[in-house]
Amino acid sequence: MSDATVFPVPEDLAQNAWVDEPRYLEMYQQSIEDPEAFWAEHGKRIHWFKPFTKVKDVNYGPGDVHIRWYEDGTTNVCYNAIDRHLPTKKDDTAIIWEGDDPSEHEYITYGQLHDNVSRFANAMKARGVKKGDRVTIYMPMIPEATYAMLACARIGAVHSVVFGGFSPDALAGRIQGCESNCVITADEGLRGGRKVPLKANTDKALESCPDVDTVFVVKRTGGDIDWNDKRDVWWDEACAAADKECPAEEMKAEDPLFILFTSGSTGKPKGVLHTTGGYLVYASMTHKYVFDYHDGDIYWCTADVGWITGHSYIVYGPLTNGATTLVFEGVPNYPTASRFWEVCDKHKVNIFYTAPTAIRALMREGLEAVKRTSRSTIRLLGTVGEPINPEAWMWYHQVVGEGRCQIVDTWWQTETGGILITPLPGATPLKPGSATRPFFGVKPLLVDNDGKPLEGATEGNLCISDSWPGQMRTLYGDHERFVQTYFSTYDGLYFTGDGCRRDEDGYYWITGRVDDVINVSGHRMGTAEVESALVAHAKVAESAVVGYPHDIKGQGIYAYVTLNAGEEPSDELRKELVTWVRKEIGPIATPDMLQWAPGLPKTRSGKIMRRILRKIAENDYGSLGDTSTLADPSVVDDLIENRMNK
Ligand code: WT7
């Protein structure tokens, strides 16, 4: 596919969309020339209890690094997502819930959402949860997961949602990492017909979290679970005993809304902190423009609420816009590979947002699984999480969208809170594989490794040179690490960790991470986390983990393992180690390849040369570069000889 393939905006779409190309260019120009005026205007899109007078106070360094938006305004996120719509939309559907089993679904109106959320908010209060407390949510994709998030926002508690696929250890680390003493979970989750032991995992995690005094448990499957009378509370009983009126707490714009742990290139997962006012302005505004959301549209984002995509584009963005948002409990290929498209037909979905890894997996299942569904209600298709290869893009466009739907390839991160680089449906001619152009107010900058800005068509490290309202504010409890990670690589710039090319039309093409973070099926994994799980095994002396190209997952996990003296490699031990990592972190961290390494390529000072390990994993050992600085160059020959990825 050459860069020359361009899909222009269909005429009728440009006419009916919020913005066409001239309007995009004009608004973008305004947003860059006078950000204060632009964001003052758009800050009004949410309801403020007390209007802001200050718009922006940002310093990317040197000196005290801080990011503040709409600082003197007060509001409440839950009020904006629910109460504000009640006069006009009380009986409109807020949430369509589609169960794992196709026979189960539910429609929840804004009125019902209000009552359910308020009751649970009161139930939390009754257990002593208050403004500023951190609450951990470890749940399946059921309506209660969204109620729990919104209830926290309502009373000013700070939620930390932990993906239900994480292990007890990973959960414990995240509970400790934000010092929460309340956890919300379910007896079991249900995914692809299989049960996930969420309560049992929680019990296990809490063995090392003595400060947790309350666990709310939703009954999802009715499966057998252990019960601790002092600590555990059934969701239903607590809500039945609670009032359905609960005033929304008045929050300052910069009060924390949530923490979300994500992987970094080193050390433990980082607690990314987002705040209230700016986040909500940005999440709702991007949801409106990027998905060209109009009143009455049925919108479906297939992510899990355990990731930022679920926060911004299942819950907060859509609900703040009064949308109908679909919450799906299941997986793309259960009971069949037609499930996504069947759900689109069943609920008349207009806007569909998913990940390249799902597209590639479904592409493999052949045309028939798609063609036997109608998909006629779909108007717009979105993708997020990793670079989409042009082949998958074309399949999405031609087969799923029958050439009729624009595709929005949206680039962003947990840290950015919302979409930063993306097409706008009525405004942007598309190039398959490119996230195209910046959203309003976003100033991308490509720099070389010395931080020198690069002009025109070029390739470099992707930075953003000015703030936008949805940006993260700090890492929970570790502002120093925040400054170090994001603002110290290049002076005065937010560094994304991504590599990127800009073409002659000013279009951006994300090339992937340039740090030690890998992207497996759109999930972020720190290679250091997988390594530390491996060396925690009694038989492992050392390990190095790198990413390698994987047909479905985008990147796979390739682990090199050195055993302790006296330990013998075997297929059995390989299986044991793979299972071990799944147990330590969760299934998303499962190594795809595990190679025995009698030695790792290290410099004389002991630093592992990952560049070489990446090349071997990629099966590209012809271009290893200079290996003469290695302490023992012969280890490379052994690794090549025994590589897994032949
Ligand atoms: C990393 C962020 C943002 C929600 C999902 C992932 C990669 C994300 C794209 C895209 C190319 C993408 C980047 C980024 N990424 N979207 N459209 N094209 N790469 O959030 O877990 O914070 O991961 O995902 O490498 O840095 P995340």
For ligand 1, is residue 496 a contact (CB within 6 Å)?
yes
For ligand 1, is residue 434 a contact (CB within 6 Å)?
no
- Mutate which of 302, 510, 521, 553 for ligand 1 pocket (most atoms within 8 A of beta carbon): 510
DSSP character at residue 314: I
- Mutate which of 305, 413, 516 for ligand 1 pocket (most atoms within 8 A of beta carbon): 413
Q: Which ligand 1 atom is at minimum distance from the Cα of 388?
A: 18
Q: Which ligand 1 atom is at minimum distance from the Cα of 308?
A: 4
Closest CA to 472 of 225, 266, 265, 282: 282
Q: How far apart are alpha carbons 467 and 68 in whole angstroms?
A: 9
Alpha carbon of 469 to ligand 1 centroid (Å): 19
* 291-348 residue pLDDT tens: 999 999 999 999 999 999 999 999 999 999 999 999 999 999 999 999 999 999 999 9
| Residues 16-42, mean pLDDT to the nearest whole number | 98
Token readout for 176 is 């400790």
**What ipTM was predicted for this assembly?**
0.99
Closest CA to 80 of 122, 130, 117, 31: 117
| Residues 208-229, mean pLDDT to the nearest whole number | 98
* 381-423 residue pLDDT tens: 999 999 999 999 999 999 999 999 999 999 999 999 999 999 9
Percentage above 70 pLDDT, the chain: 99
| Residues 575-594, mean pLDDT to the nearest whole number | 96
pLDDT for 264 equals 87
More confident residue, 640 or 280: 280
Alpha carbon of 471 to ligand 1 centroid (Å): 15
Annotated binding-site residue? 535: yes
For ligand 1, is residue 309 a contact (CB within 6 Å)?
yes
Alpha carbon of 477 to ligand 1 centroid (Å): 24
**CATH number for the domain formed by residue range(s) 11-443+451-501:** 3.40.50.12780
- Mutate which of 311, 411, 431 for ligand 1 pocket (most atoms within 8 A of beta carbon): 411
* 226-273 residue pLDDT tens: 999 999 999 999 999 999 999 999 999 999 999 999 998 888 899 999
pLDDT at position 645 over 80: no
Contact 163, 306 (CB under 8 A): yes
| Residues 359-363, mean pLDDT to the nearest whole number | 95
- Mutate which of 166, 305, 360, 384 for ligand 1 pocket (most atoms within 8 A of beta carbon): 384
Closest C-alpha residue for ligand 1 atom 7: 386
Q: How far apart are alpha carbons 323 and 499 in whole angstroms?
A: 34
pLDDT for 625 equals 78
CB atoms within 10 A of CB 357: 24
Alpha carbon of 293 to ligand 1 centroid (Å): 22
Q: Which ligand 1 atom is at minimum distance from the Cα of 419?
A: 3
For ligand 1, is residue 115 a contact (CB within 6 Å)?
no
* 431-454 residue pLDDT tens: 999 999 999 999 999 999 999 999
pLDDT at position 525 over 90: yes
pLDDT at position 646 over 80: no
Within its chain, how far is the Cα of 34 from the centroid?
A: 30
- Mutate which of 386, 496, 501, 555 for ligand 1 pocket (most atoms within 8 A of beta carbon): 386
User: In what side-by-side order are the strands of the sheet with 256-262?
Assistant: 232-234, 214-218, 182-186, 134-138, 158-161, 256-262, 270-275, 474-475
Annotated binding-site residue? 333: yes
For ligand 1, is residue 498 a contact (CB within 6 Å)?
yes
Annotated binding-site residue? 191: yes
* 115-174 residue pLDDT tens: 999 999 999 999 999 999 999 999 999 999 999 999 999 999 999 999 999 999 999 999
Residues 6+ positions from 313 with CB-CB distance below 8 Å: 283, 287, 301, 303, 353
pLDDT for 30 equals 98
Q: What is the pLDDT confidence band of residue 578, given thresholds at 50, 70 and 90?
A: very high
pLDDT for 173 equals 97
pLDDT at position 2 over 50: no
Q: Which ligand 1 atom is at minimum distance from the Cα of 496?
A: 26
For ligand 1, is residue 384 a contact (CB within 6 Å)?
yes
Annotated binding-site residue? 521: yes
Closest C-alpha residue for ligand 1 atom 8: 385
pLDDT for 606 equals 82
Residues 6+ positions from 445 with CB-CB distance below 8 Å: 453, 462, 463, 464, 465, 493
Alpha carbon of 635 to ligand 1 centroid (Å): 34
Alpha carbon of 304 to ligand 1 centroid (Å): 15
Tell me the pLDDT of the chain averaged across its residues: 96
For ligand 1, is residue 562 a contact (CB within 6 Å)?
no
CB atoms within 10 A of CB 183: 26
Q: What is the pLDDT confidence band of residue 4, given thresholds at 50, 70 and 90?
A: low
**CATH number for the domain formed by residue range(s) 521-642:** 3.30.300.30
Q: How far apart are alpha carbons 124 and 158 in whole angstroms?
A: 12
Domain ranges, ordered by start, for the chain: 11-443+451-501, 521-642
Contact 170, 162 (CB under 8 A): yes
Q: Which ligand 1 atom is at minimum distance from the Cα of 309?
A: 4
Alpha carbon of 524 to ligand 1 centroid (Å): 8
pLDDT at position 613 over 50: yes
Question: Residue 171: CA atoms inside 13 Å, Cβ hemisphere, count?
Answer: 34
Annotated binding-site residue? 339: no
pLDDT for 629 equals 79
Q: How far apart are alpha carbons 120 and 524 in whole angstroms?
A: 32
In the chain, helix, strand, coil percent, each to 5? 35, 25, 45
Annotated binding-site residue? 6: no
Residues 6+ positions from 227 with CB-CB distance below 8 Å: none
Annotated binding-site residue? 386: yes
Q: What is the pLDDT confidence band of residue 1, given thresholds at 50, 70 and 90?
A: very low
